[in-house]
Amino acid sequence: MCGRYVLASKLETLETRFGVTAPVDLKWEANYNISPGTLAPVIASNAPNTIQLFRFGLTPFWAKNSMLLFNARSEGDRNPNNNPDYKGARDIINKPAFRKPIRSQRCLIPADCFIEGSRQNKLNKPYVVYLKYKMYPFSFAGIWDSWRNPETGQEIYSFAIITTPANAVLQAISHDRCPVILKPSDEKLWLNPDTPLSKITELLTPPDPEIMNAYPISNQIKSPKNNSKELLTPIGPTIFKEEETNAIQIRKQYGFGRGN
């Protein structure tokens, strides 16, 4: 699962990175502990040139009550054992809560890193998982929906992060799932409602573990009330040793360009 992530990048950075603009009245401050129920920036298919604030945790348009579906499995009900070598159908297209959004209501979810724990310890022993070589902010592949509260009439826009089986980095911390992280070159395809569904499902694969790493942090992040950069302070070494390399060349190889 991916239920906590970090976005400390400023709106100006997001505008440059994603080629979008933020409304002058949009208020955003660094959040080091984005959790379900929190408003967070997205770039959604209904306004692909604009940054909006949607709620983390999707409520389908047909729901009778508010929900917080913060993750959407790319395999749907298939692959119940989270086999990391799974190559079968991306059955998200048939799940009632997700089959409409995956076809026409997709979004980019900007992030700087995310938080995970092992399947046994969860956030009692959390890790920061990040892209190496300063490849941030990046984007999770997301879906969104709008739901009208039948009691108040309020319309709520919300989103979920799509997940896949764990790659080698998530497996190393004994976690079963991994968020889909889009390559910059695939972001416009993801937002475009005319992109064939077959192409969309092809993008639902684990990110390359060679550009990822993780390190342990305090379990203070377990409480959504805690929110400061000190939460990301390492309390141990990275999972994998990082060798010196040409970071600029690698960023360009993965499409992040010189500005990241």
Query: How far is the C-alpha of 113 from the C-alpha of 128, rounded, in Å?
Result: 7
Active site residue 116: yes
Query: How far is the C-alpha of 66 from the C-alpha of 85, rounded, in Å?
Result: 35
* Beta-bridge partner residues of 129: 114, 214
Strands 71-73 and 155-165: parallel
Active site residue 2: yes
Residue 64, Cβ density class (10 Å: 0-12 exposed, 13-18 middle, ≥19 buried): exposed
Catalytic residue (choose from 2, 107, 113, 178): 2
**Tally of residues, the chain:** 260
Is the peptide bond between 207 and the residue preceding it cis, with omega within 30 degrees of 0?
A: no
Q: Is the alpha carbon torsion for 147, 65, 76, 110 positive or negative?
A: positive
Token pair 């089986």 is found at 165
Q: How far is CA 165 from CA 1, 115, 207, in A?
A: 10, 16, 10
* Beta-bridge partner residues of 122: 118
Query: How far is the C-alpha of 114 from the C-alpha of 175, rounded, in Å?
Result: 13
Token pair 């993008």 is found at 203
Catalytic residue (choose from 107, 113, 116, 187): 116
Active site residues: 2, 116
